[in-house]
Structure 1
Amino acid sequence: MLKLKQVLQGVGRPQSALAESLNLSSAAVAQLLNHGQWPRSLDNEELQGRIRVFLTEAGANDADIANAFEEVDLPCSSTADPAQMNEPSGEDEPMLLPKQTLLPSTRKAFSLFRDPFEELQSAQDMWVSPDIRYVRETMYQTARHGGFLAVVGESGAGKSTLRRDLINRIMESNDPVVVIEPYVLASEDNDTKGKSLKSTHIAEAMMAAVAPLAKPKSSPEARFAQLHKALKESHAAGYRHCLLIEEAHSLPIPTLKHLKRILELEVGFVKLVSIIMIGQPELDVKLSERNADVREVVQRCERVTLAPVNGNLLKDFLTFRFSRAGKPLSEVIDDSGIEAIAARLSQPSRRGGREETVSMLYPLAIGNLMNAALNMAAELGVPLINADVVKGV
């Protein structure tokens, strides 16, 4: 660690202020202060001169400025001042990063001609863990054979990928399944915040899919009877029907209740429509057994949750992603870097009086952190991402 870090603390200036003054990223300044790694793209002497100017304007004394670039040992845990150990530094970065893209200089430095975390182009780009395989297969069997399923997952967990995979799988297998996707742009769960997806919108989408030339009846009951008849005729022609609703956490309670009536459309013992809802954890709240308004829906709905990537499988996930981009993982990141990613995307939580760790190792979060680390490594001239680089992002 450079003594510069202590000098900044002594004059009460944050690292972010120094980064802004030098026109460098906070990650680059953190690497400089904590590990003495100077950006290779800049001349060290010129950069030191700019830092001295900053310190002078901040009120640092001449002795501290003269010794600012000396390296000092980090205090051991046994000798560190407890007050300093417990005091927040104010330099912590947010755990989850916004969308990160690879810079052209990064692609050149690591010989990456394709972003390993770009939007999937085919089913072969999907990494399938045991948990994902279970959810994927459950969705497919529900679409083919009937049922009522809710798929719940955090943002970036891969819900949209599974939706696209389901449709692609049905098409490639030539399964006689009509997939119906009703949607409302910027859907909200009530009409005060936006436009909500109502049962009439769903019925219209279903009619458009199974009987596009039919003229809708005037009354709601007549339209529902018309829909039932159209579904029977489609079933007689050998088709199954799957109602696929994305962003289902935005469904209003009345629409959730109406889904039960759609599920009850049948001919003999055969249900004419299967229903798959895909949404964020708010959907789980709406489908709580304690919610009396949707009790009959909850009793009929199976729920599956998209879990984060298991920490033990993180290396397999990264290996697969980079192999799709034609790059061996060992040429990009070492084991310490992988361990740092797992640690960075985990946070302590207290639930029911017990301490536990909440994992945020979802594909989108992993990709953003990895791309940010690649960009920083290229900026610093580091040939391989290690724990220090990840911690500096």
Structure 2
Amino acid sequence: MLKLKQVLQDVGQRQAALAESLKLSSATVAQLLNHGQWPRSLDKAELQARISVFLVDVGANDADIAKAFEEVDLPCANTADPALSQEPSGEDETMLLPKQTLLPTTRKMFSLFRDPFDELQSAQDMWVSPDIRYVREVMYQTARHGGFLAVEGESGAGKSTLRRDLVNRIAENNDPVIIIEPYVLASEDNDTKGKSLKSTHIAESMMAAVAPLERAKSSPEARFAQLHRALKESHAAGYRHCLVIEEAHSLPIPTLKHLKRILELEVGFTKLVSIIMIGQPELGVKLSERNADVREVVQRCERVILAPVEGSRLEEFLKFRFERAGKALAEVIDASGIQAIAARLSQPSRSGGRDKQVSLLYPLAIGNLMTAAMNLAAELGAPVITADVVKGV
């Protein structure tokens, strides 16, 4: 660690202020202060001079400036008299990164001709854990044989990927299933915030998928009778029908209740429509057993939760993604870096009076953190991502 970090604390300046002055990223400055790693792309003497100018401007004395670039060892855990202040700076809080993009210099350094975390191009690019395999199979069986299913997951957990996989799987297997996906752009749970998805809109989507050449009847009652008849005719032709609603957490309560009516469309003992709702955890709140408004839906709807990647499977996940991109994982990140990724994407929480760790190891979050770490490693000239690089992101 450079003594520069203590000098900044003494003059009341944050690392971010120094980074802004030097026109460098906060991660680069963090690596410099915490680990003494100077950016290889910049002249060290020139950078020291620019830092010295900054320190003069913020009121540091000559003695502090003279020793700022000396290195000091971090105290051991049992050291009674720490050399530097151990007050939390607030700069190392766990947070999710925004969308990250591999820089050209990063691609060149790691010889990556394909982004390992880019949008999946085929089903073979999809990593499947036991948890994902279960959710995937439940969705497929619901589409093939009927049922009412709610799939819940955090943003970036892979919900849209599973929806795409379901559509692709049915098409590849030539299964006689018509997938119906209502248009949900700008859908909200009330008309004040946006456009709510109503049962009439869902019925229109179903008619367009099952009988696209028929002209819709004018009255609501006639339209639903027309839909029921069209579904019966389609079923007689050998087809099943699966209604897939993404962003289902934005469904208004009345529409949720109306889905039960759609589920009840039948011929004899055979249900004509199966329903799969896909949404964020707010969907689970709406489907709570304590919500009397949707009790009829709750009693009929199976709920599955898309869990984060298990920490023990993080290396397996990363290895799969990089192999699909034609790169060995060991050439990009070492074991300490993988452990640091797992630690970074965990955050403390308190529930029921007990402290616990909440995992944020979702594919999107992992990809963004890995991409940022690769960019930083390339900037620093580090051959592989280590724990120190991850901590510097």
With normalisation by structure 1, the TM-score equals 0.98
2: CA distance between counterparts of 1:329 and 1:261? Answer: 51
Q: Answer yes or no: is 1:364 the counterpart of 2:361.
A: no
Q: Secondary structure in 2 aligned to 1:9?
A: helix
Deviations 1:22-53 (A, max 9, x none): 11110000000000000000000000000000
With normalisation by structure 2, the TM-score equals 0.98
> 1:70-89 counterparts in 2 under 5 A?
70-79=70-79, 87-89=87-89
1: CA distance between counterparts of 2:221 and 2:158? Answer: 38
Deviations 1:64-112 (A, max 9, x none): 1001011111122323569x87732132255210000000000001000
Q: Secondary structure in 2 aligned to 1:300?
A: coil
AA of the residue aligned to 1:261 = R
Shift in Å, 1:222: 1.2
Q: Answer yes or no: is 1:218 the counterpart of 2:218.
A: yes
Aligned to 2:180: 180
2: CA distance between counterparts of 1:245 and 1:97? Answer: 28
> 1:13-24 counterparts in 2 under 5 A?
13-24=13-24
2: CA distance between counterparts of 1:360 and 1:250? Answer: 23
Q: Answer yes or no: is 1:92 the counterpart of 2:92.
A: yes
Q: Secondary structure in 2 aligned to 1:229?
A: helix
Q: Secondary structure in 1 aligned to 2:299?
A: helix
Aligned to 1:248: 248
AA of the residue aligned to 1:328 = A
Q: Secondary structure in 2 aligned to 1:170?
A: helix
CA shift in 2, pair 1:67/1:86, >3 Å: closer
2: CA distance between counterparts of 1:13 and 1:90? Answer: 13
AA of the residue aligned to 1:216 = A
2: CA distance between counterparts of 1:117 and 1:85? Answer: 39
CA shift in 2, pair 1:5/1:382, >3 Å: same
8 Å contact from structure 2 (residues 182, 201) kept in 1? yes
8 Å contact from structure 2 (residues 188, 196) kept in 1? yes
Deviations 1:165-222 (A, max 9, x none): 0000000000000000002321100001010000000000001111111121121111
Deviations 1:231-267 (A, max 9, x none): 0000000000000000000000000000000000000
2: CA distance between counterparts of 1:365 and 1:185? Answer: 24
For structure 2, the residue ranges without an aligned partner over 5 or more in a row are none
> 1:367-386 counterparts in 2 under 5 A?
367-386=367-386
Q: Answer yes or no: is 1:162 the counterpart of 2:158.
A: no
Percent identity over the alignment? 84
Deviations 1:119-169 (A, max 9, x none): 000000000000000000000000000000000000000000000000000
Q: Answer yes or no: is 1:47 the counterpart of 2:47.
A: yes
2: CA distance between counterparts of 1:186 and 1:27? Answer: 36
CA shift in 2, pair 1:237/1:85, >3 Å: farther
Aligned to 2:65: 65
Aligned to 2:142: 142
2: CA distance between counterparts of 1:9 and 1:125? Answer: 47
CA RMSD of aligned residues (A): 1.3
2: CA distance between counterparts of 1:191 and 1:86? Answer: 51
Aligned to 2:390: 390
2: CA distance between counterparts of 1:286 and 1:303? Answer: 12
Aligned to 2:190: 190
